[in-house]
Amino acid sequence: MEMLKARKERYERRVERRRNNSPQEEVYEAEAPKLSVNMEATGKTMDISVNDVTIGVPGKQLVIGATLKLIYGRKYGLIGRNGIGKSTLLRHISRRQITGFPAHISVMYVEQEIPESPNSVLQMVLQSNTIYQHLLAEKESIEAKSKTDSATESELQRLQTVYQEIRDRNLIHADVVARDILRGLGFSDEMINQPTHLLSGGWRMRVSLAAALFSSPDLLLLDEPTNHLDIGTVIWLEDFLENYGKTLVVVSHDRHFLNTICTDIMLIRDQQLLYFRGNYDAYEKTFEEENLNRERERASLKGQIDHLMVFINRFRVNANRAPQVQSKLKVVKKLQEEMDAIPMPSEDPMLRFQFVDPLPLQMPILQSNDVTFGYTPDRILFRKVNFGIDFDSRIGILGPNGIGKSTMVKLLLGDLIPLEGQVIRNHKLRCGVFTQHHVDQLDFDKTPYQLMKDLYPKDDEQKIRSQLARFGVTEEMAGRRIKTLSGGQKTRVSFAMITNTNPHILVFDEPTNHLDIETIEALSKALNAFKGGVVVVSHDQFFISRVCKELWTIRNQTIVRFNGEFKEYKKLVSQGKICIVCFPKIGGILLKTLLSHTHLSI
């Protein structure tokens, strides 16, 4: 209750400041993302085809003369390196800033959490569907007139049309549909009726996502929708989007997510939009095959040119062979033009990370014996927990948000003290820890080099630059202020900072949130090559599958080890044999866990 009271007081202070500073303004202007639609526009096709699309930001062109082509009902994964323009493209589409974009297509874009509001979660979701609100207002207006016999014949006919449209759009029981979506995203009934200003940023992000799913636009645009979600919610979202009957464009760093839902891949590369049928794995295979075929074609043409040039160079000064030389020069020119016409995209440098292997330690390096912990004695989170971590450990901690994953990490690191039992650590043990808030805590006015020098003042310049380079932080990047770097670049700086002491155990709490697919793969490879222990809390299915050999879930106030690979765990969750729903409540955690004991051991 104290936490609830404090959060409410902070909210009221913010409201009061806004009233004092801007007395003429509405205090609550912020709403859930709205469905963008022109109710008057009409069109015959729901497909989208727009030529000569050019998009840029100040000082940089991102897309030039490209074709935007989206087939109705297909699901596109929008991919490309960080900073290449994926989010910018989605914003231009949602704001209808692309000339020729069909006006009758309804669009909704989810990129950020809803702002704080006194409105309930359910109200924010219902209000986001402008079509529903328009139909509801029209229905209520005509119904009010009909009760006083003042409605015209045309209005009564229109009322029947409105009724039919509400039925066609599955909005007869709109609040039931909205509640079901919110529950799927992890909201309890209590939270659904709470004011949104009582929610954290991560939960307000889920409200935005729920609003978009409820609005069911013709074109749904999602930007990293799995961030801030736990594994169970990601799996629910995959199932929902697989069955979404309209067009979807999604940006995601989660390769498994893209493989599950996408029918097509749209790639931004060389300022163009390139399209590939199939999911991400199919795209990767097709892209590699196309590049290989182009390389072979170029090699064949180059071989012909080299063969002709041998003759040309040999007889260039021979007057008797001059006609033949000229003829072959023309052939060479034609072959060179053919070779130059073969589209070969610029090569992206392969990103590689390197974790320095630690020195050996006497076992056990980290062990928990009968640990019981709670923030207060009447709020026990873990009871009689036993575990061990060594150099071979590759542990993934799974579970819904609020179940205590981060708390468990803090316990094993010694940041929290058990109420009972003990956590035994080798006195020489060093841990490198990355938390999901690490990037936000960097000094944005300093450079990566300055941050490293401040943290490790005894290290010389060469050692610092070498450490940064291990994580793809170039000399140029090391001299730029943190505020100018992308989220992925900041994360790589953080990796360099936490591993400079050559830790024996690496602990990552949601490390992939700002990383692109290639960077996540580089991180996975580096961790697999690392000779120390690894503990991971992550919602990224590809990352967990690649890195973790042991899966821990938290059940009945203890650690439950899942005897199987992640794909088996996911399958059981999808089948409902493992069902974990966690609803955070002020003053405690309400947990409902139904588990198949066949695959679990304690």
On whether both 245 and 189 belong to a single domain, the answer is yes
What pLDDT shows up at residue 97? 92
On whether both 84 and 191 belong to a single domain, the answer is yes
Measured CA to CA, the distance from residue 563 to residue 540 in angstroms comes to 20
> For residues 494-529, b (16+ Cβ closer than 10 Å) or e, as one string?
bbbbbbbeebbbbbbbbbbbbbbbbbbbbbbbbbee
On whether both 70 and 198 belong to a single domain, the answer is yes
Residue 48 lies in a domain: yes
CATH number of the domain to which 112 belongs: 3.40.50.300
Residue ending a domain, among 211, 242, 270, is 270
What pLDDT shows up at residue 577? 64
CA atoms within 13 A on the CB side of 69: 14
Beta strand 558-562 with 550-555 is antiparallel
On whether both 289 and 333 belong to a single domain, the answer is yes
Residue 597 lies in a domain: no
CA distances from 316 to 51, 308, 332, 497 (A): 48, 12, 14, 61
332: how many CB neighbours lie within 10 A of its CB? 17
Measured CA to CA, the distance from residue 511 to residue 526 in angstroms comes to 14
What pLDDT shows up at residue 349? 61
Contact by Cβ (8 Å): 442, 451: yes
Beta strand 558-562 with 600-601 is antiparallel
Residue 333 lies in a domain: yes
On whether both 251 and 298 belong to a single domain, the answer is no
DSSP state of 84: S
110: how many CB neighbours lie within 10 A of its CB? 24
Residue ending a domain, among 293, 326, 341, is 341
On whether both 114 and 51 belong to a single domain, the answer is yes
On whether both 215 and 311 belong to a single domain, the answer is no
Q: Give 524-544 pLDDT, tens digit per residue.
A: 999 999 999 999 999 899 999
On whether both 114 and 231 belong to a single domain, the answer is yes
On whether both 407 and 503 belong to a single domain, the answer is yes
On whether both 96 and 6 belong to a single domain, the answer is no
Residue 94 lies in a domain: yes
What pLDDT shows up at residue 601? 30
CA distances from 369 to 41, 57, 246, 361 (A): 67, 56, 53, 20
> For residues 177-213, b (16+ Cβ closer than 10 Å) or e, as one string?
bbbebbbbbbbbeebbebbbbbbeeebbbbbbbbbbb
What pLDDT shows up at residue 64? 94
Measured CA to CA, the distance from residue 304 to residue 333 in angstroms comes to 11
Contact by Cβ (8 Å): 515, 226: no
CA distances from 102 to 47, 172, 200, 394, 395 (A): 9, 28, 37, 50, 49
Question: Which residues of the chain fall below pLDDT 50?
Answer: 1-4, 7, 10-11, 14-31, 581-602
Residue 266 lies in a domain: yes
Beta strand 431-434 with 505-509 is parallel
On whether both 249 and 388 belong to a single domain, the answer is no
Q: Which of 249, 270, 272 is nearest to 53 (CA)?
A: 272
DSSP state of 474: -
Domains in the chain: how many in total?
A: 4
Measured CA to CA, the distance from residue 167 to residue 214 in angstroms comes to 15
Query: How many DSSP H helices and E strands does the chain contain?
Result: 20, 20
Residue 100 lies in a domain: yes
Residue 265 lies in a domain: yes
Rg of the chain over Cα atoms, rounded to whole angstroms, equals: 29
Angle at 481 between CA 454 and CA 64, to 5 degrees: 155
Residue ending a domain, among 270, 295, 318, is 270
Residue 601 lies in a domain: no
**Residue 34, amino acid:** K
What pLDDT shows up at residue 345? 60
3-class SS at 93? helix
Q: Give 169-223 pLDDT, tens digit per residue.
A: 778 888 899 999 999 998 999 999 999 889 888 888 999 999 999 999 999 999 9
On whether both 195 and 337 belong to a single domain, the answer is no
What pLDDT shows up at residue 567? 86
Domain residues for 519? 366-562
Distance of CA 485 to the CA centre of its chain: 18
Torsional class of 486: left (φ above 0), alpha (ψ -120 to 50), beta (otherwise): beta
Sign of CA dihedral 505, 510, 514, 517: positive
